[in-house]
Amino acid sequence: MCGIVGIVAGRDVAPLLLESLKRLEYRGYDSAGMAVLRNGAIERVRAEGKIVRLEERLAQTQLPGHTGIAHTRWATHGRPSERNAHPIMTSRVALVHNGIIENFAELQAEQGSVAYESDTDTESVAQLLTQYLEQGKSIEEAMPLVMDRIRGAFALAILIAGRPDILVAARRGSPLAIGYGEGEMYVGSDALALVPFTNRLCYLEEDDWVILHRDRAEIYNQGRLVNREIVYSMLSGAITGKDGYRHFMMKEIAEQSVVLGDALASAIDPASRQVALPGLDIDWKNIPRISMIGCGTAYLAGAVAKYWFERLASLPVDTEIASEYRYRQGPVDPQALAIVISQSGETIDSLAALRYARGKGQRIVGLLNNPESTIARESDAVLPVHAGPEIGVASTKAFTAQLLALLILAIQAGRARGTINAATETALVSALIEVPAQIAALVQRREEFATLAHALRDSQHALYLGRGLSYPLALEGALKLKELSYIHAEGYPAGEMKHGPIALIDETMPVIVLAPEDEWLEKTLANIQEVRARSGRAICFTSAQGARRLGDGVEHIVMPDVHPWVSPLLYAVPIQLVAYEAAVARGTDVDQPRNLAKSVTVE
Ligand code: M6R
């Protein structure tokens, strides 16, 4: 989603801004732009599409200047186009924005005859600030007025014409970090954008606004100068590469065996085959229930974990789609533990749900891939999933790393609550130890999944079915297929098919069934027969034994034998490979599917 960056320095900033923008590219965007102050005048270059197009424009139109801002835009108000790309300019300012200005229409109406150059909500802020500056107000006077007038979520970086010595920034709702360099200062949407230049960062708090000079940051909140702690980022300034893979997504699928192996090593004792999760102090015995909160794939990791916590730890779990949770206003048990799951740690819906849960008195554990994120900072405790940078918009290794962390946590809870015995724990941990090698072997069989995906490439629709732990995984399979290949797909509990979706079954509808060797297998096999009886095309992922029981004519891929309660970690991989290969076969943009963003920072 939108990424912003700004630099005030003693050298030309355009190349630095470009480098930083490239590091924000993973968030997803549809246009990009940059502006600098040259002899006090604002100059700007924008382009629709990828950053490479902006780079081409910059090769034709140099932007010399020591103070500048840049932006990747993910359209909310106004279609993706050069006209709506940021920076948005007026006679006095250039401004980049991440978020949504909710009262833009009201502001625009108040501004009367002012001619807008774009269709964006952002322009209402640029025009408002311009109005105050034209009334003769100083920046220090104008910014608090602007902050008072605008509603919604925003991170802003602003150039002021005639003031090449400063950069102004502000935040509410959307994250913003300040970077402290040697004689230059930076501002950016996340640490990744800034660490090529400095590891000394400070994260602005709600309603902070700041004037950046080359040597300092003056941070204001509610009319007062405030101090914010400077922290040292552990993130690497090196650009993450594809390591010879065609797409980040395939690289990240392949990395799962190593990621899970490393994560396991830090969470179990291989000698005793028991869970040994350091540093998380949770009073499992006295927790009445869990609220499992997330969006998209992160939510689905929580939906799988519901089965684990309920069965292994006898702990009821409410799975909560973050964007619904706080608005539903249902009864919330303050004694319940809230587990907020997020790869980025910046998803605004999840952050808002976290704040809602905290407001209701719940303790928050953040299950996160980015421990330097806003959700990490606002959680009571953080359980890092250690998947490493995930650049592909589709979540793959973060998902399986989330699953692993949640299963480990459920085992820990079960042991503490006395609902599993040592033998069960040993069996589960032993099964987990096999998983990294099993995933590596599955990735080696990529061709089988490519063949299957090729056969799907002309389908308009597909169904994913599963029971028990495989039901949320079926939802994930459908989500992956649609977001990557744009084939419309639905996930269903296999037993629910006969209550509606069975009407869709004909010879053109592929039905992908997840059928590991578990307590639900018998019933799932019966559902496959129901598909077959209606001339449907069933494709089944199952064990060798399950495959023998399928009967003739059911396409299948034989999966490694795996403990039933560990199966989601393994069955997640074929659904990723099928979606990936289908996307490649259909020629879609695998790493940045249309309309999607990696970090969803608007509601
Ligand atoms: O960063 P988060 O884990 O909070 O992101 C949540 C969702 O936006 C994300 O999982 C999304 O559904 C992915 N595109 C799925 O592949």
pLDDT above 90 (res 590) = yes
Of the pLDDT bands very low, low, confident and very high (cuts 50, 70, 90), residue 184 is very high
Position 235 scores a pLDDT of 77
Tell me the C-alpha distance between 210 and 179, whole Å. Answer: 12
Neighbours of 561 (CB within 10 A): 16
Q: Is 576 in the pocket of ligand 1 (CB under 6 A)?
A: no
Mutate to test the pocket of ligand 1, among 351, 369, 395, 595 (most ligand atoms within 8 A of CB): 395
Q: Is 395 in the pocket of ligand 1 (CB under 6 A)?
A: yes
Position 597 scores a pLDDT of 83
Q: Determine the 3-state secondary structure of 534 from DSSP.
A: coil
Burial class (CB in 10 A: 0-12, 13-18, 19+), 81: middle
Cα-to-centroid distance, 323 and ligand 1 (Å): 13
Position 84 scores a pLDDT of 96
Position 378 scores a pLDDT of 95
Position 271 scores a pLDDT of 86
Cα-to-centroid distance, 515 and ligand 1 (Å): 25
Neighbours of 226 (CB within 10 A): 13
Beta strands in 333-460, from DSSP E residues, in sequence order: 337-342, 363-368, 381-384
Q: Is 1 in the pocket of ligand 1 (CB under 6 A)?
A: no
Contacts of residue 325, Cβ cutoff 8 Å, sequence gap at least 6: 291, 293, 353, 356, 357
Q: What's the average model confidence in pLDDT over 446-459?
A: 92
Question: What are the C-alpha distances in Å from 345 to residues 379, 445, 559, 600?
Answer: 10, 33, 33, 10
Question: What are the C-alpha distances in Å from 494 to residues 403, 473, 500, 502?
Answer: 22, 12, 11, 10
Tokens, residue 329: 């206003």
DSSP H or E segment with residue 475: helix 470-485
Position 522 scores a pLDDT of 93
pLDDT digits (tens, 9 = 90+) for 492-528: 999 999 999 999 999 999 999 999 999 999 999 999 9
Active-site hit among 2, 202, 295, 540? 2
pLDDT digits (tens, 9 = 90+) for 311-365: 999 999 999 999 999 899 999 999 999 999 999 999 999 999 999 999 999 999 9
Position 371 scores a pLDDT of 86
Q: Annotated catalytic, 598?
A: yes
Q: Do 562 and 436 form a contact (C-beta atoms < 8 A)?
A: no
pLDDT above 90 (res 5) = yes
Of the pLDDT bands very low, low, confident and very high (cuts 50, 70, 90), residue 291 is very high
pLDDT digits (tens, 9 = 90+) for 73-105: 988 899 999 999 999 999 999 999 999 999 999
Position 362 scores a pLDDT of 97
Sheet holding 381-384, edge to edge: 317-321, 290-294, 337-342, 363-368, 381-384
Tell me the C-alpha distance between 126 and 132, whole Å. Answer: 10
Q: Is 481 in the pocket of ligand 1 (CB under 6 A)?
A: no
Q: Do 410 and 403 form a contact (C-beta atoms < 8 A)?
A: no
The values of phi and psi at residue 219, to 5°, are: -105, 130
pLDDT above 70 (res 239) = no
Give nearest CA residue, ligand 1 atom 10.
297
- DSSP helix, strand, coil percent of the chain (3-state; round to 5): 40, 25, 35
Q: Is 347 in the pocket of ligand 1 (CB under 6 A)?
A: yes
Q: Is 362 in the pocket of ligand 1 (CB under 6 A)?
A: no
Position 233 scores a pLDDT of 87
Q: What's the average model confidence in pLDDT over 387-416?
A: 96
pLDDT above 90 (res 423) = yes
Name the DSSP letter for residue 173. Answer: B
Distance from the Cα of residue 21 to its chain's centroid: 18
Burial class (CB in 10 A: 0-12, 13-18, 19+), 421: exposed
Cα-to-centroid distance, 296 and ligand 1 (Å): 5
Cα-to-centroid distance, 28 and ligand 1 (Å): 12
pLDDT above 70 (res 155) = yes
